[in-house]
């Protein structure tokens, strides 16, 4: 099944369920920043996401420094946001 970019309407509908994620890159991606007690907690969080990402073959773009993790989700194959990003964001939200 090909992965399709969400329309602007679909995107806005889905994003209502993801209030902590912000649209970025002119609507082509979403991002959220996380803060933990320390590096060990931040990296443990990243490790859980890494396993989920690998299983789904859908990988985040992310930046980490010490206790902070910034995650950006986009679907390169779709040229923007797809349902895969929405589902991944929901899954990540459940981890924290």
Piece of 2-10, 21-29, 60-68, 83-91 that binds a second copy (CB under 8 A): 60-68
Find residue 23's DSSP bridge partners: 30
Phi, psi of 57 (to 5 degrees): 50, 45
* Stretch of 12-20, 22-30, 44-52, 85-93 contacting a second copy, by CB under 8 A: 44-52
Q: Which of 66, 79, 95, 96 binds a second copy (CB under 8 A)?
A: 66
**78: which 2 tokens?**
């779709």
- Nearest approach in angstroms of CB 9 to a second copy is 28
Element holding 90 (H helix, E strand): helix 83-95
* CA 8 distance to own-chain centroid: 18
| CB neighbour list of residue 12: distance below 8 Å, 6 or more residues apart | none
**Min separation Cβ 39 and a second copy, Å:** 5
One of 1, 9, 65, 94 touching a second copy (CB under 8 A): 65
- Which residues are at the interface with a second copy (CB under 8 A)? 39-40, 43, 46-47, 50, 53-54, 59-66
């Amino acid at each position: 099944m090909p992965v399709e970019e969400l329309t602007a309407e679909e995107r806005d509908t889905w994003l209502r369920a993801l209030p902590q994620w912000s649209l970025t890159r002119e609507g082509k991606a979403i991002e959220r920043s996380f803060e933990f007690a320390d590096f060990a907690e931040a990296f443990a969080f990243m490790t859980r996401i890494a396993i989920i990402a690998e299983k789904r073959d859908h990988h985040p773009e992310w930046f980490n420094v010490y206790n902070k993790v910034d995650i950006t989700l986009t679907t390169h194959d779709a040229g923007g946001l797809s349902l895969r990003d929405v589902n991944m964001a929901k899954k990540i939200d459940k981890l924290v």
